[in-house]
Structures are given as C-alpha cells and as structure tokens.
C-alpha cells in the first residue's frame, strides 16, 4: 500500500508540462494585407477652397455627397484631408461630427444633423459646380477660374 501512496504523491507533486499545442493553420498563416481603399477623388483644390459661410457649406456638401459620407460610407482620412483640409477634418472629429477608425472617417449621427441643418443655406448651383470641379479637375469659370488652382491627387 505504501507503494501505491508513493505513486499518488509523486503524481500529485509532479510538475506537469503543458500539452503541446497543435499548429493552428489560421494562426500560422500570414495575415492577408487589406487592399488599399479605392480613391474617391482624383482632383483636389490647391487654392481657392471656400473658408466660411454659404460657399463653404456648398463645397463641404459637394464633397461629402461625392464620397458617400451622407449615405454612411467611409473615406480614407488622408483623402478627406486632401479635399477638405487637415484643420477641417480635425475640427469635425474633435466636435464629434466625424469619427476616425482604422484611418478612415465617417459622419456621426450628430454630424449628419449638423450638415443637414446647413442645407437650406446651400446654393445648389454652387454645390453642383464644386462637384463637377472635383470630378473632372476642370475649372468652371465661376467658382474656380484658373486650372492651376486644381491638382490631381496622388
């Protein structure tokens, strides 16, 4: 009986080694690199982007609609900054109107309300003009008169 007890004590006090784990195919596989998001904009404004008032509202609404942000889509923050400017994007994130996640920005519910509230102040011709400029890269002669004010985005 003492032999049986000795065996039990030995088993109880023995340091157990963790069982060898089987190689997990998912864990060992190289993570797939995400494809870069397709660019929305081919052209940006070098100078002449509106800074305030109804002109700014029309420009902002123009690029938000092109990007689909008003429909819940996201856009790369770098691209949004190229179109609206670093300060504008940082401001709207700080104010809670936009949110950044994984390098992309989207509009929050509060942001949607904010941008919708400015809609009545927007001149629809100005908004359409900015959309045409951002899509074609060509000046319209009214909002942007000089082609040097527009640049292709990288």
pTM: 0.72
Domains held by the chain: number: 1
Residue 135 domain boundaries: 43-152
Q: What 3-state class would DSSP assign to 150?
A: strand
Q: Are 28 and 22 in contact (CB under 8 A)?
A: no
CATH for 52? 1.10.10
What's 31-94 look like in SS3?
Answer: CCCCCCCCCCCCEEECCCCCCCHHHHHHHHHHHHHHHCHHHCCCEEHHHHHHHHCHHHHHHHHH
Q: Is residue 145 part of a domain?
A: yes
Q: Is residue 17 part of a domain?
A: no
Q: Are 106 and 73 in contact (CB under 8 A)?
A: yes
pLDDT tens for the 154 residues of the chain, in order? 556 555 555 555 555 555 555 554 444 444 454 454 567 788 888 888 999 999 999 999 999 999 999 999 999 999 999 999 999 999 999 999 999 999 999 999 999 999 999 989 999 999 999 999 999 999 999 999 999 999 988 7
């Amino acid at each position: 009986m003492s032999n049986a007890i000795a065996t039990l004590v030995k088993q109880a006090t023995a340091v157990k080694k963790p069982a060898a784990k089987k190689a997990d195919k998912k864990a060992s596989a190289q993570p797939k690199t995400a494809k870069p998001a397709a660019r929305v904009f081919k052209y940006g404004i070098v100078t002449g982007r509106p800074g305030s008032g109804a002109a700014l509202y029309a420009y902002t609404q123009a690029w938000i609609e092109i990007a689909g942000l008003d429909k819940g889509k996201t856009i790369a923050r770098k691209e949004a900054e190229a179109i609206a400017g670093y300060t504008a994007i940082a401001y709207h994130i700080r104010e809670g109107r936009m949110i950044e996640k994984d390098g992309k920005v989207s509009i929050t519910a509060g942001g949607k309300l904010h941008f919708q509230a400015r809609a009545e102040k927007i001149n629809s011709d100005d908004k359409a003009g900015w959309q045409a400029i951002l899509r074609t890269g060509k000046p319209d002669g009214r909002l942007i008169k000089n082609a040097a004010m527009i640049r292709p985005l990288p």
